[in-house]
């Protein structure tokens, strides 16, 4: 299994477009009801992204809650044209990225926190026990590896291979050129392979990391 395999999810561009259209239509009709639709559509993506960015379940919950709160406050000031032009997934993740960056700056002024908690992906009710155990182990390993990447590389890798955003959307979310995003993704994945290989002696020779 490659590092990319561990952090990738299936492409679903058409489904994403359908969800976005449904959310925008709901928001255009009624803000409060529409926000509930937006929350249901994107809470999983927002939380999973937050969890991989920060590596701590409780902190990811706080980051997600703050992102949705800021999103609601922003929507209260949006006119119909701005709502109609909204790209809700990228917009929400831009807010989340800003909240996360702010948390990093705040953390830098506080005493160092303890080690990362185990950070498996959110549970799937239909998942078997064996699959859940394997996912939990992978999640713990992945959280530890991602935490060792520089912040920009971590964000780019998470948005591309966990949240499954295209490079153009990642560039918009992170506020950087597409070429820079591609570089961060490439370097981040290369670093993850090195880190993973160092933690599993002999795996590279066995072809486990490509």
Farthest CA pair distance, the chain: 58
Report if residue 164 sits inside a domain: yes
Report if residue 84 sits inside a domain: yes
Distant-in-sequence, close-in-space partners of 174: CB < 8 Å, separation ≥ 6:
97, 152, 155, 156, 159, 181
Report if residue 171 sits inside a domain: yes
What does the alpha-carbon distance between residue 76 and residue 134 come to, in Å, rounded to a whole number?
43
Q: CATH number, domain at 167?
A: 1.10.1740.10
| The pLDDT of residue 135 is above 60 | no
pTM of the entire predicted model: 0.77
Report if residue 179 sits inside a domain: yes
Contact (CB, 8 A) for 166 and 172: no
pLDDT in tens, 11-53: 456 778 899 999 999 999 999 999 999 999 999 999 999 999 9
Question: Among the listed ranges 107-111, 144-148, 149-153, 185-189, which one has the minimum average pLDDT value?
Answer: 107-111
Report if residue 28 sits inside a domain: yes
Report if residue 43 sits inside a domain: yes
Residue 147's domain comprises 3-110+128-199
On average, the pLDDT of the chain sits at: 82
For the chain, how many structural domains are there in total?
A: 1
Distant-in-sequence, close-in-space partners of 177: CB < 8 Å, separation ≥ 6:
171
Q: Taking the CB of residue 3, how many other CB atoms lie within 10 A of it?
A: 24
- In eight-state DSSP terms, residue 162 is T
| The pLDDT of residue 133 is above 50 | no
Report if residue 207 sits inside a domain: no
Report if residue 66 sits inside a domain: yes
pLDDT in tens, 43-66: 999 999 999 999 899 999 999 999
Q: Taking the CB of residue 124, how many other CB atoms lie within 10 A of it?
A: 10
Q: How far is CA 48 from CA 19, 123, 158, in A?
A: 18, 11, 9
- In eight-state DSSP terms, residue 207 is T
Contact (CB, 8 A) for 60 and 110: no
């Amino acid at each position: 299994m490659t590092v990319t395999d561990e952090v990738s999810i299936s492409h679903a561009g058409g489904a994403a477009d359908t969800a976005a259209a449904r959310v925008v239509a709901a928001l255009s009709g009624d803000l409060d009801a529409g926000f509930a639709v937006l929350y249901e559509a994107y809470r999983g993506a927002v939380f999973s992204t937050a969890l991989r960015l920060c590596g701590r379940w409780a902190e990811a919950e706080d980051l997600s809650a703050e992102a949705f709160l800021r999103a609601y406050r922003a929507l209260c000031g949006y006119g119909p044209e701005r709502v109609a032009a909204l790209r809700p997934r990228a917009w929400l993740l831009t807010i989340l990225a800003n909240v996360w960056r702010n948390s990093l700056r705040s953390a830098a002024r506080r005493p160092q926190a303890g080690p990362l908690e185990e950070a498996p992906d959110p549970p799937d009710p239909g998942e078997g026990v064996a699959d859940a155990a394997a996912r939990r182990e992978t999640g713990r390993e992945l959280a530890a590896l991602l935490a060792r990447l520089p912040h920009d590389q971590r964000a780019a890798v998470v948005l591309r291979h966990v949240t499954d955003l295209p490079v153009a959307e990642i560039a918009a979310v992170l506020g950087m050129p597409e070429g820079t995003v591609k570089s961060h993704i490439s370097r981040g994945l290369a670093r993850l392979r090195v880190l993973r290989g160092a933690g599993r002696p002999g795996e590279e020779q066995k072809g486990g990391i490509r």
